[in-house]
């Protein structure tokens, strides 16, 4: 993920909730392409990964202008990151 999206500087936090924080960053290949990244720490939260995968499948099946587009998921030993479209001026 860190090679696809720019995390060289501290990303701007745009939200925080019960399951993690949301930051905005941009694509390394296209700096004009901003994305929202929901970062959920596995140790801090009781994340049921099967349930999360089911939710992602539902998000992938939706296509509506009032629903944020899910792009991809990254997972490492510590975190699960959901990459979504960035919509300026709105909350997720």
Task: Specify the pTM.
Answer: 0.80
SS3 45: coil
Written as six digits, the tokens of 69 are 């587009």
Give pairs for 29-34: CB < 8 Å, separation 24+.
29/4, 31/6, 34/86, 34/88
pLDDT score for 48: 74
Average pLDDT of every residue of the chain: 83
Name the class of domain 12-85. Answer: alpha beta
Q: How many Å is the maximal CA-CA distance in the chain?
A: 34
Domain parsing of the chain, residue ranges: 12-85
Q: pLDDT per residue over 14-56, tens digit each?
A: 888 877 889 999 888 888 899 999 888 887 766 677 778 888 8
């Amino acid at each position: 993920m860190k090679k696809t999206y720019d995390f060289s500087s501290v990303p701007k936090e745009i939200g925080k909730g019960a399951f993690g924080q949301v930051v905005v960053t941009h694509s390394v290949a296209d700096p004009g392409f901003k994305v929202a990244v929901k970062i959920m720490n596995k140790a801090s939260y009781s994340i049921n990964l099967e349930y999360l995968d089911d939710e992602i499948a539902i998000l992938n099946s939706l296509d509506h202008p009032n629903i944020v587009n899910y792009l991809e998921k990254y997972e490492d030993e510590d975190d699960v990151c959901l990459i979504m479209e960035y919509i300026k001026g709105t909350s997720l």
